[in-house]
Amino acid sequence: MRALLLTIGLCALFAPAHAQPLEIIGYSGYLGEWELTATVTETAPGGKEYSGPFTMKHVGLCTQEGPEEKTGEIRFHISGQQLDAVLSVAGVSCSYGGRLSDAYNGTLSCADREAVPLKLWVK
């Protein structure tokens, strides 16, 4: 019995830890008029690559019939002080590169639009 308990304890000790999801919060646009929220999970060992669904909600004053919302998928990689991401919405992929200061500050670039500022916090 003691050997069985010891084996179970050792297996639990060396079992791979499951990474906890990360919360992403951000603001995009020159006036921060789009709020971005996401919950992402680790996609590669080492805690540097993540992906998951995101929602962007227009929080500016110019909404007529309630806030506009867009949903999509975010994939990103963190390397040192740099976060590089691809955000996909309705078949359109946009790229983002941000440097860490108080948050990740960078620019969201889509092929058919002008690049806009995007600030992200990772919790």
Is the pLDDT at 16 greater than 60, yes or no? Answer: no
Q: How confident is the model at residue 17 (pLDDT cuts 50, 70, 90)?
A: low
The architecture that CATH gives domain 18-122 is: Beta Barrel (2.40)
Going from N- to C-terminal start, the domains of the chain cover: 18-122
- pLDDT above 70 as % of the chain: 82
Residue range 73-88: mean pLDDT, rounded? 97
Say how far apart CA 116 and CA 29 lie, in whole Å. 5
Residue range 104-117: mean pLDDT, rounded? 95
Judge contact between 98 and 104, C-beta under 8 A. Answer: yes
More confident: 76 or 8: 76
More confident: 105 or 112: 105
Q: Which residue has the tokens 């008029």?
A: 33
Is the pLDDT at 63 greater than 70, yes or no? Answer: no
Closest CA to 58 of 83, 37, 74, 85: 37
Is the pLDDT at 24 greater than 90, yes or no? Answer: yes
